[in-house]
Structure 1
Amino acid sequence: MESFPEAHKPGYAVYSRTSLAIYDALVLGLSNRWIWRCPSSHLVGLYNRHVSANHLDIGVGTGYFLDKARFPVSDPKVALLDPNSDCLGKAAARIARLNPVTIQADALVPWPQDIGTFKTIGLNYVLHCLPGTMAEKAVIFDHAIPHLEDGATVFGSTILQGDAPRSGAARKLMQIYNRKGVFSNEADALEALRSELDKRFDDVTVEMIGCVALFSAREPRSA
């Protein structure tokens, strides 16, 4: 694995070829429906509403949502950015028909300038894995903005605590994941997410399903 900041690694180093083999069933099937109370169909719907013909996906997982998404054209340009080479390999193989470009990089540090600009950037299940407060995590939006075409959209989802409705099982699992460093969302609340988006974009939508926030943002504010 490439050398990236050590403090960022717990949230993505857990994803190996072995864990990725069960990720769809365990996380996207079981946890999303029964623990987080946001069935994966809602996240597929988020992609279908926003994904464009020129898309960058951050934190690519297994490539499940890009595989399921309905792109507006048959031959979209798709780029995958992730610090974890196993995730990049798994996702790229899954959507090989789309000929994706892979970029091994840490999205919390300034992105490679030569990756270009995009009509959509997806951040699905990324923020709750990033270390720090919501204000500290939101630097990822600052890194994204220079890579947005005119009229582009940033969209994604994240698992929240705060006032988010959580069952006993959800609370317990979040405690375990935070203890292991897989999650870092103890201070993540809906108000904080909305505030950070509103600071940067004029057109923001946030919807809660279970304890998952689905968001989209357009029209970056002037610096």
Structure 2
Amino acid sequence: MTDSSAAGAAVYSPLTLAVYDAWVLGISNRYAWRCPTREVLLPFFRANVRPRHLDIGVGTGYYPAKAQLSSQTHITLLDLNPSSLEAAKRRIGRPGTRTLQHDVMQPIPGEERFDSISLFYLLHCLPGPLDAKAAIFGNLKHNLQPGGVLFGATILGDEAQHNGFGRKLMQVYNKKGIFGNLGDTQVGFEAHLREHFRDVTLKREGCVLLFRAAQPIV
């Protein structure tokens, strides 16, 4: 476990998880980050998830639980925090859902590959600099099947022109080590994704960057 990964994961206690959906997915996404969950993030997840899926940074399991997945979809959950893994697996309630307690900043052990890998609201919880956290793209490309896709969403830093609510949350979260994203930029993420993938698509919604990457560069 690295200190950088542990700081962002530690906040997800059972108590925090109990209010996560209402506060983060409801109030914060709509009013602070200006990227509504149901209208933007959930459809983006649903459009990109594939039959053999790895969800990293699982939160409460909201996206796999709400995405109306096919019965043929197999889910693996990866997170450093056991409370998040337990809560997400219970919420998803799908037979065969697996959990893996692991530090995302380290390569995943073994040779298993997935059709899709999601990183929703994980990257802004990893302390900067961006060059360091973006190393996970180089690790995760080796866990994609041919034709697979890596996709996710992250809250950008100071460049995102946060409103008053967002600026206050950014100040508090970065000071507490919950976020580490003050220097995170769209240009920076795009450069790192294109270093590892031939097919990269990015979309900005409010203060949130949605990204999709395929065709890994070996």
TM (normalized to structure 2)? 0.96
Supply the distance in 1 between the matched residues of 2:96 and 2:89 (Cα, whole angstroms).
Answer: 8
- Cα drift, residue 110 of structure 1: 1.5
Deviation of 1:174 (Å): 0.3
Q: 1:111 aligns with which of 100, 108, 112?
A: 108
Looking at structure 2, the residues matched to 166 and 53 of structure 1 have their Cα atoms a distance apart, in angstroms, of 36
Partner of 1:161: 157
* Runs of 4+ displaced beyond 6 Å: none
Q: What secondary structure, in the 3-state scheme, does the structure 2 residue paired with 1:55 have? A: strand
The gaps in structure 2 that reach 5 residues or longer are: none
Distance in 1 (alpha carbons) for counterparts of 2:24 and 2:124: 14
| Alignment-mate amino acid for residue 86 of structure 1 | S
For the 8 Å contact 1:161–1:186, the answer to whether it is kept is: yes
Following superposition, the deviation at residue 131 of structure 1 comes to 1.6
**CA–CA distance in 2 between the matches of 1:50 and 1:8?**
26
- Secondary structure of the residue aligned to 1:188 is coil
The Cα shift of 1:98 comes to 4.3
Q: Are residues 98 and 46 of structure 1, via their aligned partners in 2, closer, same or farther at CA, if it must alter by over 3 Å?
A: farther
Asked if 2 retains the 8 angstrom alpha-carbon contact of 1:134 and 1:196, the reply is: no
What's the RMSD between the two structures over aligned residues? 1.1
Q: Determine whether 1:171 maps to 2:167.
A: yes
Question: Corresponding residue for 1:217?
Answer: 213
Q: Distance in 2 between matches of 1:99 and 1:87?
A: 17
Per the TM alignment, residue 76 of structure 1 is displaced from its structure 2 partner at its CA by 1.1
* 1:58 and 2:24 are equivalent in the alignment: no
Counterpart of 2:25? Answer: 28
Contact 1:118 1:148 (C-alpha < 8 Å) held by counterparts: yes
- The alignment-based identity, stated in percent, is 44
One-letter identity of the residue aligned with 2:174: N
Given residue 31 of structure 1, which amino acid in structure 2 is its aligned partner?
Answer: S
SS of 2:94 mapped into structure 1 = helix
The equivalent residue for 1:203 is: 199
Question: 1:172 deviation in Å?
Answer: 1.5
Which of 170, 180, 184 aligns to 2:180? It is 184
2:120 to 107, 118, 124: 124
Indicate the residue corresponding to 1:76 in structure 2: 73
Structure 1: which amino acid aligns with 2:161?
A: P
Q: Determine the C-alpha separation between the residues in 1 that align with 2:128 and 2:183.
A: 8
Unaligned runs of 5+ in 1: none
Encode CA deviations 1:179-212: one digit per residue, 9 max, x unaligned.
0000000110111011111111111111011100
Per the normalisation by structure 1, the TM-score is: 0.94
Is the contact made by 2:123 and 2:154 (CA closer than 8 Å) also made in structure 1?
A: yes
